[in-house]
Amino acid sequence: CLESKNYQIIVLGGGVAAGYAAFSYVRMGGESNQLAVLSEEPVPPYERPSLSKGFMDPDIRMEPSEFYTCAAIAQLPQDEKWYEEHGVALYLNTRAQQVDVSTKKIISENGHIFHYEKLIIATGCRARKYSPSQVPFSNLDGILYLRNIEDANIVRNWIDELKGQGKAVVIGGGYLAMEITSCLVSNNIQVTMAYPGDYLLNKLFPAQVAKQYEQVFRDKGVELLSNCFVENFYERNDGFASAVRFQDGRKVSGDFFIVCIGAIPNTELFQGQLQLQNGGIEVNHRLQCVGFPDIYAVGDVASFPLKAYSNRPVRIEHVDHSRKSAASAILDILHGNPYGNTKHRDDPRLSIFRAAVDTTYDYVPFYYSRMFDLCWNFYGDSSGTAFVWGYVPSKMVTLWIELSSKVVGILLEGCSPFEHRVAYRVAVNRPKVDTSELQRITEASQVFEY
Ligand code: FDA
């Protein structure tokens, strides 16, 4: 007979969004013993971005307890004691095996049955992996991925083993591949980066910007190989991977391989029950699932309408959205739809959640990444034509201008906190600019009309 537990709210998932949901619930005055977090992971929710930053940094070597949520905003890592003291039930090592949305029931692999009134789906993504049937020998030892603490520990063990003498091959050209490469270089490991595009981070960066970051990597001794599509890996005598071969015949050897080829949303529990979109779970402006107002989806797994950009449905795999969407769902559950309710807007406890305070969820995208001593921040939408000023690594600004001459997106490197605040305001207000004038000037600040 399985043990049964009832909660008013269950957050399914134990990542960034789950941690911020718990934090918001407590901050917004939610009652004790009414909220549970179910996580398959062995540690409390943590700031996942730290895995490819402080956790691998040879000088810092942060431990997970230093970056449990909400270390990034409250300088208060929520350990298990925090959950206990605030009456939030935290179930670790508890993987949901089955969810029945019609009876509001969750069954976990370790034999619990949970009943909820409201469910917040925060199952995030998992690393996309090669399958050995498509990429021969891709299941060899020494071919690594990075999504969770377990993966990060494995990568860090390899780093410790080969520090100062080893060679790694990073496969992928997105921000995660760039961050991992930076960590490896800081640990004196030689790196080749091999990626499918013509240049790094081609989903966001214009070529002109990417080339500048590429030069930074080259200056640090990293070998960059573009247009690489993996064909197969090779096996050493001891069962470890020794080399990777690309479709055009190029072959690169290494001691270990870190594969960063994207992420897959964890939606399987809900297939056939909830409406899917963009590979994730479709939600409305209040982050409620279509036809199920008691079920919310937040973070990486949610496909939501981007209100500020013609309600285009998007799935955003970045940490700022996971934090704010979690807070927004909690606000909606605790206080109903407070749209137009200024009481909540004026509540100083909520000021940290700009997007949440105005529920419905009106999100202006914000992404960032850090590598070496660089840090780029992006605000808004990268559609339209890109105009670039300045240079990485000192100071660079890129503006994306739509056909209507509105600025819709901004990328900054090497800018001050004030300039970041301005960039956010610009992404929110989307001022019109004179594009012919824009061609001629080099000082971005001269073109904004506030
Ligand atoms: P997240 O993946 O954090 O959490 C999902 C949780 O659900 C996990 O704990 C998972 O185990 C659990 N789960 C899934 N299925 C379950 C089940 N059936 N039962 C129980 N639990 C289940 N973004 C950014 O803007 N800047 C950055 O620099 C970085 N850096 C970065 C580095 C690395 C290494 C990664 C992997 C990712 C980033 N990101 C980032 C992305 C950012 O971390 C990501 O957007 C958030 O973690 C998403 O938060 P979620 O809570 O939605 O998913």
pLDDT digit string (tens) for 321-362? Answer: 999 999 999 989 988 754 444 444 455 555 555 444 455 788
| Residue 447 banded pLDDT, cuts 50, 70, 90 | very low
Residues 11-50 pLDDT 10s:
999 999 999 999 999 988 899 999 999 999 999 999 999 9
- Say how many Å lie between the CA of residue 123 and the centre of ligand 1: 8
The ligand 1 atom at the shortest distance from the C-alpha of residue 123 is: 7
pLDDT, average across residues 282-290:
95
pLDDT at position 44: 98
184 in contact with ligand 1, CB cutoff 6 A: no
216 in contact with ligand 1, CB cutoff 6 A: no
- Percent of the chain at pLDDT > 90 equals 82
| Residue 418 banded pLDDT, cuts 50, 70, 90 | very high
- Say how many Å lie between the CA of residue 318 and the centre of ligand 1: 9
Query: Which one is predicted more confidently, 294 or 436?
Result: 294
pLDDT at position 3: 72
16 in contact with ligand 1, CB cutoff 6 A: yes
410 in contact with ligand 1, CB cutoff 6 A: no
369 in contact with ligand 1, CB cutoff 6 A: yes
pLDDT, average across residues 168-190:
98
pLDDT at position 168: 98
Residues 42-72 pLDDT 10s:
999 999 999 999 999 999 999 999 999 999 8
Report the mean per-residue pLDDT for the chain.
91
| Atom 28 (ligand 1) nearest CA | 369
pLDDT at position 438: 74
**Ligand 1, pocket-test mutation among 46, 68, 78, 123, most atoms within 8 A of CB:** 123
Cβ proximity of 106 and 99 under 8 Å: yes
| Atom 18 (ligand 1) nearest CA | 96
Tell me, what's the ipTM? Answer: 0.99
41 in contact with ligand 1, CB cutoff 6 A: yes
125 in contact with ligand 1, CB cutoff 6 A: yes
144 in contact with ligand 1, CB cutoff 6 A: no
Please give, one letter per residue, the 3-state secondary structure of the chain.
CCEEEEEEEEEECCCHHHHHHHHHHHHCCCCCCCEEEECCCCCCCECHHHHHCCCCCCCCCCCHHHCECCHHHHCCCCCHHHHHHCCEEEECCCCEEEEECCCCEEEECCCEEEEEEEEEECCCEEECCCCCCCCCCCCCECEECCCCHHHHHHHHHHHHHHCCCCEEEEECCCHHHHHHHHHHHHCCCEEEEECCCCCCCCCCCCHHHHHHHHHHHHHCCCEEECCCCEEEEEECCCCEEEEEEECCCCEEECCEEEECCCEEECCHHHCCCCCEECCEEEECCCCEECCEEEEEECHHHEEEEEHHHCCEEECCCCHHHHHHHHHHHHHHHHHCCCCCCHHHHCCHHHCCCHHHHCCCCCCCCEEEEEECCEEEEEEECCCCEEEEEEECCCEEEEEEECCCCEEEEEEEECCCHHHHHHHHHHHHHCCECCHHHHHHCCCHHHCCCC
114 in contact with ligand 1, CB cutoff 6 A: no
pLDDT, average across residues 69-93:
93
Q: How many CA atoms lie within 13 A of 81 on its CB side?
A: 3
| Residue 441 banded pLDDT, cuts 50, 70, 90 | low
pLDDT at position 347: 54
pLDDT at position 30: 93
- Percent of the chain at pLDDT > 70 equals 92
The ligand 1 atom at the shortest distance from the C-alpha of residue 108 is: 19
- Say how many Å lie between the CA of residue 15 and the centre of ligand 1: 5
- What Å distances lie between residue 56 and 41, 143, 258, 342, 380, CA to CA? 20, 18, 14, 44, 30
- Say how many Å lie between the CA of residue 302 and the centre of ligand 1: 12
